[in-house]
Amino acid sequence: MSVATARTYKKTAQFLKDIYINAPMILLDGALVATMDKKIIATKLINKEVADAIIDEGAKFGIFPFILALADKNLNEAFLYSNICNKDQRQVLSRYAKEDNLQECRDIRAMDNNFKVVYMGEEKLLRKLLVELRCVFGNELKYILAPEAYVGCYFLTLLHKDADKAHGIQSLIEYSGLEMEKLTVFGDNLNDLGMFQLSKTSVAVANSHEKLKKHATIISQYTNDEDAVAKYLEGV
């Protein structure tokens, strides 16, 4: 059993402290595959030059990103943010106020190894930024634009072109020697689409994105707020 999540190693480990995870975890939308004891299995990183160029493009629109980066080989993570933040970013930062990896930057620059670059704000502005970034970087990056479930705005995430949960599963399978045919995945949003297309059995929770449901082999009657995954496992 494992997880595939957009969250960092640190936050995922906190959430799963009472759950037995016996396979590598797919983290940060697939940019990192690592075991619970911090062994790095695979990474898909954005280098400093590219990440800095992304920052410069965003600055033209008057918006600056969050940057999730690998701080060292011990899997310590850095959360970089500009001192110029919009209201949505400030709301997110207020939820992470007690974290020890936050780094405020007056002139934000990326680190050598970056998991992802994340913009937050109004949908209209982020769509304009997305068009510009696609023109500049093309297929060099992966782009995810979607509603943010907890803040009420939109987010635009930039990742290495192969950083996704499907590639993460392939790394997990190769490392663990598991059989792809026996894989069952669960999800609720578009960043789970690759997993659903890869897996023989895919379970969408009741409140999943409608596009994801079209690729599911099973649609749960329960939402992710109603323990849909646990109820499915209890019934297997």
Q: How far apart are CA 115 and CA 33, in angstroms?
A: 11
One domain for residues 50 and 156: yes
Give long-range contacts, CB 8 A cutoff, 24+ apart: 202-207: 203/228, 203/229, 203/232, 205/229
The CA–CA distances, whole Å, from 59 to 90, 138, 169, 195 equal 18, 19, 35, 34
The two three-digit tokens of residue 75, written as one number:
């899997």
The predicted structure's pLDDT at residue 19? 87
Per-residue pLDDT reduced to its tens digit, 15-40: 898 888 889 999 999 999 999 999 99
Provide DSSP, 77-90.
EEEEEESS--HHHH
Kindly state whether residues 153 and 173 are assigned to the same domain: no
Q: How many CA atoms lie within 13 A of 193 on its CB side?
A: 9
Tell me which amino acid residue 103 is. Answer: Q
| Token pair listed for 235 | 């019934």
pLDDT at residue 176 above 80? yes
Same domain flag for 51 and 154: yes
With a pLDDT cut of 70, the percent of the chain lying above it is 100
225 with 141, same domain?
Answer: no
**What's the rounded Cα separation, in Å, for the pair 84 and 184?**
43
pLDDT at 99: 86
Per-residue pLDDT band at 165 (split at 50, 70, 90): very high
Mean local confidence (pLDDT), 208-236? 93
Mean pLDDT of the chain: 93
Q: Are residues 191 and 236 in the same domain?
A: yes
pTM for the full model? 0.88
* Residues 52 and 120 placed together within one structural domain of the fold: yes
Question: Do 13 and 107 sit in the same domain of this protein?
Answer: no
Instruction: Tell me: do 194 and 122 sit in the same domain.
Output: no
Instruction: Give 53's Cβ-side CA count (13 Å radius).
Output: 13
The domain in which residue 66 lies consists of 46-160
Q: Are 41 and 167 in contact (CB under 8 A)?
A: no
* Eight-class DSSP state of 27: E
Looking at the structure, tell me whether residues 14 and 94 fall in a common domain.
no
DSSP-based three-state secondary structure for 219: strand
Alpha helices in 1-122 (DSSP H): 9-15, 48-59, 87-95
Q: Report helix, strand or coil for 158.
A: strand
143 in the same domain as 71 = yes
Q: What is the DSSP letter of 20?
A: -
pLDDT, average across residues 27-56: 96
Count of domains for the chain: 3
Distance CA 213, CA 75 (A): 34
Do 51 and 107 belong together in one domain? Answer: yes
Question: Which of 178, 206, 225 delimits the end of a domain?
Answer: 178
Task: Please write the tens of the pLDDT for every residue from 117-163.
Answer: 999 999 999 999 999 999 999 999 999 998 887 788 999 999 999 99
Question: Please, which pLDDT band fits residue 91 given cuts at 50, 70 and 90?
Answer: very high
pLDDT higher than 70, residue 88: yes
Indicate the DSSP class of residue 33. Answer: E
Question: Rounded distance, CA 217 to CA 231, Å?
Answer: 16
Share of the chain above pLDDT 90, in %: 78
